[in-house]
Amino acid sequence: MRLNKQVICASDRPGSGSFRPMAMSEGEAPRHHEPRVLIVDDEYFVAWHLESLLQDLEFDVCGIAGDCESAVKSAIDFAPDLILMDVNLGAGPDGVETVRRIFQRRQVPVIFITAYTDEANLTRIRQAAPAAAILSKPVSPEVLQAAVRRALPREGG
């Protein structure tokens, strides 16, 4: 198996962003893999903290995106098993609209992680993604782990 280095740019403003090298395999995908998680959050320190927590729990973070466009592209390109989605993504479409756009292309489990848990936001989330879990920021490692394990499809049926 050869490795091909890819660079992902996540930005919430044109001309800015965070570049990360990620190893992507070429050729046949392995039959069994760690669950792949895409993190979508415009706060890079929050995203990197979530990445660290997930890696400690032995999940494969396949990408980090900071805006709608990057998230939709990453969801298509990397086919994650799960998406962790912030609601407020700064300027542009928010996390709820981003999930709607992703769902137009593929269905994937989503966990919303947000500081905005007012009834209006909760209603919008439930309308866009009825099966999505909703976690309040800040989220503890234990709560995150439980939510991720519940959201992921079970292997073998």
Nearest alpha carbon to residue 97 among 62, 133, 121, 64: 121
The H or E element spanning position 128 is helix 119-128
Q: What pLDDT is stored for residue 155 in this prediction?
A: 56
125 and 112 Cβ atoms separated by less than 8 Å: yes
Q: Is 10 part of any domain? A: no
What is the mean predicted confidence (pLDDT) over 44-58?
93
Does the pLDDT at position 137 exceed 50? Answer: yes
What are the backbone angles phi and psi of residue 119, rounded to the nearest 5°? Answer: -60, -35
Percent of the chain with pLDDT over 70: 76
What is the mean predicted confidence (pLDDT) over 52-75?
95
Q: Is 79 part of any domain? A: yes
What's the chain's average pLDDT?
A: 83
Q: Is 39 part of any domain? A: yes
Q: What pLDDT is stored for residue 157 in this prediction?
A: 44
What is the mean predicted confidence (pLDDT) over 15-23?
47
Q: Is 114 part of any domain? A: yes
Give the number of other Cβ atoms within 10 Å of residue 58's Cβ.
Answer: 8
Residue with tokens 């269905």: 107
Chain centre to alpha carbon of residue 8: 14
Q: What pLDDT is stored for residue 110 in this prediction?
A: 98
Structural domain tally of the chain?
1
Selected residue with higher pLDDT from 32 and 103: 103
- Please measure the distance between the N-terminal and C-terminal CA atoms of the chain and give it in whole angstroms: 28
Q: Which are the contacts of 79, defined by CB distance < 8 A and separation ≥ 6? A: 36, 106
Phi-psi region of 79 (alpha: psi -120 to 50; beta: other; left: phi over 0): left
Residues of the domain holding 73 = 34-151
pLDDT in tens, 73-82: 999 999 999 9
Does the pLDDT at position 88 exceed 90? Answer: yes
| Residue 107, domain CATH | 3.40.50.2300
Q: Is 1 part of any domain? A: no
Q: How far apart are CA 117 and CA 30, in angstroms?
A: 39
Does the pLDDT at position 55 exceed 60? Answer: yes
Selected residue with higher pLDDT from 17 and 123: 123
Give the number of other Cβ atoms within 10 Å of residue 69's Cβ.
Answer: 15
Q: Is 13 part of any domain? A: no
Q: Is 135 part of any domain? A: yes
Q: Is 112 part of any domain? A: yes
Does the pLDDT at position 22 exceed 80? Answer: no
SS3 150: helix
What is the mean predicted confidence (pLDDT) over 102-126?
95
